[in-house]
Each structure stands twice: as structure tokens, then as C-alpha cells.
Amino acid sequence: MTVAELPGKAMLAPMADFTELPFRLLCRKYGADCSLVPLVSATAITRSESYFENIRVAEKENAGLQLFGAAPADFGIAVERITDALPFVKWLDLNCGCPSPRTTAGGAGSRLLKKPKLAAAMVARMKRSGLRVSVKMRLLPKMEKTLEFCKAMEKAGADFLIVHGRTEKQGYSGKADWDSIKKIRERTGIPVVGNGDINEIALGRKYVKEGYADAFMIGRAALSNPRIFCGKKTEGIEDAKGLLREYLALCNRNDFLEVNNAKLVATQFFRGFRGSAGMRLAVSKAKSIEDIKVFMQ
């Protein structure tokens, strides 16, 4: 998969605990060009058969797989397993952007921004798969260091960059810096996908048209409105219930029975309109996916 091949230039951002298979398929239905299986541990793949077996990728979703970790040797083994057993994976992504303590504690995620040589070594291992490789990253406090990191990833073989326009310290606060994303695009030789604060499809298209990025990625705004990719909004509680029914149907069709994950996703659909709080409370009490269906009646 290449960025140039994306008809709408719109990607669904990987968000741990939210963007599992049914939700990715729902966003794909409504116009997301592609998505990423979020935060897959390269180390866990090498050590746990059950962990690897729980990775779900469907042919029709056009998904890549995002790896995190801090040991290049683990990436080599993980990539071999992925290419042998998961033929529907379209590309691989190295997570260098997640600021969550559960990711950074072992030196992975956004901590890799300060270790470009280590990140480059992992990109090189991933390239052995024969698949295209992206690096999802954040800005460093100084543009000079950000560009050094980007160029190191390019030299290591990365095919494109996915840049969240915030620093590790910012987390998800403040505003995404799209001017910095544009500078990265202008000063590197590979495509750049911009990420951060896109709350409607028109804004993402505007950034692409004006040369800020080659494509864009939508994250949190898609959680409450998976139809954002086709420019539609959720119009009230009955509309949200319809979305939830679609999501639950995808859970059943794909044998996805993780009720806690389903509840987490379902509660996001009910926000911003009368009756939302009551629906979130009802869904939160569900003990099974069947219980959630009952609440929809």
C-alpha cells in the first residue's frame, strides 16, 4: 500500500482499546481508506502464542499493523511471524508516538524519538518483510531534532511518515501544529501523513490540498462519529442507536466477543445530544454483547 494509492487520502488512526476489528470495519464502510491494528507488541509476539493468535486482521479492511517495542531482535522475529501467518496485513508501522506510560516504560513509543539509531534499526528489520513501512511519530521540542529523526527514518527505509502535530510532553493537550507537519513534508523525501485535531473530513482535505500533508489521519473525532469519513454527522439518539446496531452486527459477524471493548466503543457513540448520558450508563452495565443489544430495543 502506498499513500498515493489512497483515493480519499483519509486514514483511521490507531487507538488502543478502541480501533479493534469491528470498529475498523465500520469506519472502512463509511469511507476510511485504511487503518492500523493498534499497539501490537513485537516482544509479546515472540513470547506468547495466544497473544499472536488474538491479532485480528480482515482482508477487506485494508489494514496495516502497528508494532511497538525497543528490541530490534524481537522485531525481526515478529515480522517473520506476521508475514508467514497474517497475509492480509498491507503494511507495517513502527510506533514512535504513543506517550502512554504503559508503552514508554520499556523505552518504546514516544521515547524512541530520542533514540533515532534504535528506531532506525527496527525500521530496517521491518523492511525485511517486503512490506511497506511507516513510522508514526510526534514532534520533538525543536524542529531541527524532529527533522534529524525524520531523515534517519527515511534513510533506514521508511516509506512514509505519520506525524502527530504534538510533542510527547503535550500528550493530547493544546493544538496540533500543522505548520510543523508542513515543514517536515517540505524537507523530507517521502510522503507525510498528518494527524491531529481533524474533526471533519473537509479540514483534512484542505490540509492535503494546501500542501500540509500527502494524506491525513483521523483519530478521536471518529470514535463518536465513524461516518466522519463520508462527511456525515450523528443526528440524535436514534441515529446513534443505528450506528451501534451496525457495530454490534460486525462484532457478531467477526466473532468478536470482547464485551469490555465493545462497551468502550459503544459509549462513544452517545455523546453531544439529549439522552446520551442515560444510554452510556445503560451500555456500561452490560455483561455481554447480547445485553447491549437488549438496551437498543
Which are the catalytic amino acids?
98
Assess contact for 134 and 162: CB atoms under 8 A.
yes
C-alpha pair distances (Å), 150 with each of 39, 119, 127: 21, 11, 16
In the structure, what pLDDT confidence band is assigned to residue 145 with cuts at 50, 70 and 90?
very high
Q: What is the pLDDT of residues 84-119, one digit of tens each?
A: 999 999 999 999 999 999 999 899 999 999 999 999
The residue extents of the domains of the chain are 3-230, 237-295
Nearest Cα to Cα of residue 26 among 4, 58, 3: 58
3-class SS of residue 20:
coil
CA 102, 197, 224, 22: dihedral to nearest 10 degrees? -60
C-alpha R_g of the chain = 19
Distance (Å, whole) CA 137 – CA 236: 36
Model's pTM, two decimal places? 0.95
SS (H, E, C) 160-219: EEEEEEEECCCCCCCCCCHHHHHHHHHHCCCCEEEECCCCCHHHHHHHHHCCCCCEEEEC
Half-sphere exposure (CA, 13 Å, Cβ side) for 175? 4
Q: Three cell numbers at 271?
A: 455523546
C-alpha pair distances (Å), 243 with each of 93, 133, 235, 255, 259: 29, 33, 11, 18, 17
- The pLDDT of residue 293 is above 90: no
What is the average pLDDT score of the chain? Answer: 95
Report, as an integer, the average pLDDT of 61-88: 96
Residue 5: what pLDDT?
A: 86
Burial of 73 (0-12, 13-18, 19+ CB in 10 A): middle
Q: Three cell numbers at 119?
A: 528506531
Q: What is the pLDDT of residues 191-220, one digit of tens each?
A: 999 999 999 999 999 999 999 999 999 999
- The pLDDT of residue 297 is above 80: no
What CATH number has the domain spanning 3-230? Answer: 3.20.20.70
